[in-house]
Amino acid sequence: TDSLTGLLNHRAITELVDRELDRAIRQDQSLSVVMVDIDHFKQINDSHGHPSGDRVIRRLSTLLNTRLRKYDGVGRYGGEEFLVVLPATAAEDAVRLMDRLRRQFAEIAMTTENGDTVHCQFSAGVAAYPAQIAPQQLINAADAALYRAKEAGRNRVEVHHGDAE
């Protein structure tokens, strides 16, 4: 368990991807994996301090954890990155869900340590089975889609099409 958020940690969420991909293959179901990253997080830490950055991380973790189905998985992948596992979910449905959560997160007003109010945003990358057929391939593809979302201006959700590098 991640000590800051109470979510699954890197190892546990990676193992969940492995288990859910095995299940998706066995049951011939779709599976989406989403990499989520808080936009301009370094700027939040630099301008408002690390306690405020931690507060933003906790707020996003709460949003993700409370808005997903009980059988979905979410974990802190590292730093300000989260990995979301959506069993029986096609890529287009994952994009719709993450877009809704992205808009909800942007509406949350957070108070920093020094009393300032900030609104934060995130970008997300979606990858899905059966387009990707190995656990690390799914994660890499979601990360590549996240990178494209960042390159395209942030505060958006992109889906990976094609082979993972």
What one-character DSSP code corresponds to residue 134?
S
**Any idea which fold 10-159 has?**
Alpha-Beta Plaits (3.30.70)
CA-to-CA distance for 84 and 24, rounded, in angstroms? Answer: 15
Q: Please report the pLDDT score of residue 112 as a whole number.
A: 84
Beta strand 157-159 with 122-129: parallel, antiparallel or unpaired? parallel
Closest C-alpha among 129, 97, 136, 127 to residue 27:
129
- Nearest-angstrom CA–CA distance, 85 and 76: 12
Annotated catalytic residues are: 80
Q: What is the pLDDT of residue 50?
A: 93
Q: What does the pLDDT read at residue 115?
A: 86
Tokens of 79: 């730093």
**Nearest C-alpha neighbor of 38 from the set 108, 132, 85:** 108
Q: Are 64 and 101 in contact (CB under 8 A)?
A: yes
Give the pLDDT confidence score for residue 132 in this predicted structure.
76
Distance CA 13, CA 80 (A): 15
Distance between CA 49 and CA 146 in Å, rounded?
25
Spell out the domain ranges in the chain: 10-159
Per-residue model confidence as pLDDT tens for the chain (165 residues) = 999 999 999 999 999 999 999 999 999 999 999 999 999 999 999 999 999 999 999 999 999 999 999 999 999 999 999 999 999 999 999 999 999 999 999 999 888 888 889 999 999 999 999 877 899 999 999 999 999 999 999 999 999 986 544
